[in-house]
């Protein structure tokens, strides 16, 4: 009488059953609350790619139904991964939200791509007025005029139309003049997270020696009339 060995299962079938069992256990395993999965990461990237303005973390959190702190951490991790991979773009936090932008060291190539005729350049008067508003806000038309020495109405309207400044309040004094301040668009264009990131104005003020040299150069010496003097007539 011969002993017959039982048929052994196929190793490939055993491996397939193990994979199916692991997949089933993963489906039954509860997800940790607030931990972003791969779809959440892809959704953040998709939203930021189509966004025109920086998107606040609170808005992303509402859209994706995850805590805002998780979104902020995710964006920071994405930004670090992009930088480590050496991409030509970066994820930055500006004007209270997140957005994609090109890396600063690649600006010569980007500027070459963007034709000068496709960009509306701001005049020197507009840039000067915008700087005054940025550093002195909230500020009225009259205050801007006293600093610049010219009527700023036209320039202020241009800056308002471009969305760089807006009415932010009223002066409590007589007449209740309109007060102007910068907008999130201003921060967005300059790549700043807040007004605190503006460079100190002291960096643009000349030192005392420069002021003294300017005064010397502008000083008018009294002219001496060669015909005037103390020479009397000979008699």
Stated as kind and residue range, the H or E segment containing 219 is: none
Highest-scoring range by mean pLDDT, 104-113, 156-165, 168-177, 222-231:
156-165
| Residue 226 near residue 128, CB atoms below 8 Å | no
- Residue range 154-178: mean pLDDT, rounded: 89
User: Can you give the pLDDT at residue 27?
Assistant: 43
- Residue range 70-91: mean pLDDT, rounded: 93
Residue 47 to residue 44: CA distance in whole angstroms: 5
Helix, strand or coil, per DSSP, at residue 91: strand
Whether pLDDT at 130 is above 80: yes
Decide if 38-105 and 124-217 have a common fold. Answer: yes
Which of 23-27, 140-144, 214-218 is least confident?
A: 23-27
Whether pLDDT at 57 is above 60: yes
CB atoms within 10 A of CB 101: 14
User: Can you give the pLDDT at residue 31?
Assistant: 40
- Residue range 69-86: mean pLDDT, rounded: 93
User: Can you give the pLDDT at residue 153?
Assistant: 87
* 47: Cβ contacts below 8 Å, ≥ 6 apart: 55, 60, 63
The pTM for the full model equals 0.48
- Residue 52 phi/psi, 5° resolution? -85, -40
Task: Identify which has the larger pLDDT, 217 or 157.
Answer: 157
* 67: Cβ contacts below 8 Å, ≥ 6 apart: 34, 61
| Residue 89 near residue 103, CB atoms below 8 Å | yes
Q: Which of 187, 96, 98, 175 is nearest to 137 (CA)?
A: 187
Residue 195 to residue 47: CA distance in whole angstroms: 26
CATH domain 38-105 topology: Arc Repressor Mutant, subunit A (1.10.10)
Alpha helices in the chain (DSSP H): 11-28, 38-50, 57-64, 68-85, 107-113, 124-136, 141-148, 153-161, 184-190, 208-218
Position 77 confidence tier, pLDDT thresholds 50, 70, 90: very high
Paired tokens of 53? 């303005």
User: Can you give the pLDDT at residue 73?
Assistant: 92
Task: Identify which has the larger pLDDT, 43 or 26.
Answer: 43
Whether CATH 1.10.10.10 fits 124-217: yes
User: Can you give the pLDDT at residue 23?
Assistant: 47
Residue 135 to residue 192: CA distance in whole angstroms: 14
Q: What are the structural domain ranges in the chain?
A: 38-105, 124-217
Q: Which residues pair with 97 in a beta bridge?
A: 94
Which tens digit of pLDDT belongs to each residue from 180-220?
999 999 998 888 889 988 888 766 666 677 666 666 665 65
Residue 34 to residue 70: CA distance in whole angstroms: 6
Position 99 confidence tier, pLDDT thresholds 50, 70, 90: very high
- Residue range 18-45: mean pLDDT, rounded: 60
């Amino acid at each position: 009488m011969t002993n017959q060995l039982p048929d052994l299962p196929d190793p490939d079938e055993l491996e397939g059953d193990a994979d199916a069992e692991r997949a089933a256990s993963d489906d039954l395993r509860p997800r940790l609350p607030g931990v972003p999965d791969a779809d959440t990461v892809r959704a953040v990237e998709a939203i930021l790619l189509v966004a025109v303005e920086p998107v606040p973390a609170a808005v992303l959190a509402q859209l994706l139904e995850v805590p805002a702190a998780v979104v902020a951490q995710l964006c920071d991790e994405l930004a670090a991964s992009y930088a480590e991979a050496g991409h030509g773009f970066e994820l930055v936090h500006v004007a209270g939200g997140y957005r994609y932008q090109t890396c600063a060291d690649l600006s010569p190539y980007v500027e070459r791509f963007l034709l000068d005729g496709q960009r509306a350049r701001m005049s020197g008067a507009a840039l000067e007025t915008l700087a005054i508003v940025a550093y002195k806000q909230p500020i009225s038309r009259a205050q801007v005029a006293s600093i610049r020495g010219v009527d700023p109405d036209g320039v202020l309207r241009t800056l308002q139309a471009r969305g760089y400044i807006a009415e932010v309040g009223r002066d409590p004094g007589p007449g209740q003049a309109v007060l102007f301040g910068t907008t999130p668009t201003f921060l967005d264009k300059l790549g700043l997270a807040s007004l605190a990131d503006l460079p100190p104005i002291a960096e643009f003020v000349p030192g005392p020696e420069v002021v003294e040299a300017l005064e010397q150069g502008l000083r008018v010496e009294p002219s001496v009339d060669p015909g005037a003097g103390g020479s009397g007539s000979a008699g």
